[in-house]
Amino acid sequence: MTRTAHHPIPWNDTTLQALNRRFCDAPPEALLAWAAAEFGDRAALTCSFGGAAGMVLLDMIARQRLPIAVLFLDTDLLFPETYALAAEVERRYGLPVIRQRPALSLEAQARQHGPELYARDPDRCCALRKVAPLAEALRPYQAWISGIRREQTAQRAATEPVAWNAKYGLLKLSPLATWSARQVWAYLHTHAVPYNPLLDRGYPSLGCVPCTHPAHPDDPRAGRWSGFAKTECGIHT
Ligand code: SF4
Instruction: Convert the chain into a string of H (helix), E (strand) and C (coil).
Output: CCCCCCCCCCCCHHHHHHHHHHHCCCCHHHHHHHHHHHHHHHEEEECCCCCHHHHHHHHHHHHCCCCCEEEEECCCCECHHHHHHHHHHHHHHCCCEEEECCCCCHHHHHHHHCCCHHHHCHHHHHHHHHHHHHHHHHCCCCEEECCCCCCCCHHHCCCCCEEEECCCCEEEECCCCCCCHHHHHHHHHHCCCCCCHHHHCCCCCCCEHHHECCCCCCCCCCCECCCCCCCCCCCCC
Question: How much is the pLDDT for 110?
Answer: 96
Which atom of ligand 1 is least distant from the CA of 233? 3
Question: How much is the pLDDT for 152?
Answer: 86
Q: In angstroms, what is the span from residue 94 Cα to ligand 1's centroid?
A: 29
pTM here? 0.90
Question: How much is the pLDDT for 26?
Answer: 96
Residue whose CA is at the smallest distance from ligand 1 atom 6:
126
Question: How much is the pLDDT for 236?
Answer: 76
Question: How much is the pLDDT for 117?
Answer: 96
Is position 233 annotated as part of the catalytic site?
yes
Question: How much is the pLDDT for 187?
Answer: 98
Q: What is the mean pLDDT of the chain?
A: 90
Q: In angstroms, what is the span from residue 227 Cα to ligand 1's centroid?
A: 13
Question: How much is the pLDDT for 66?
Answer: 97
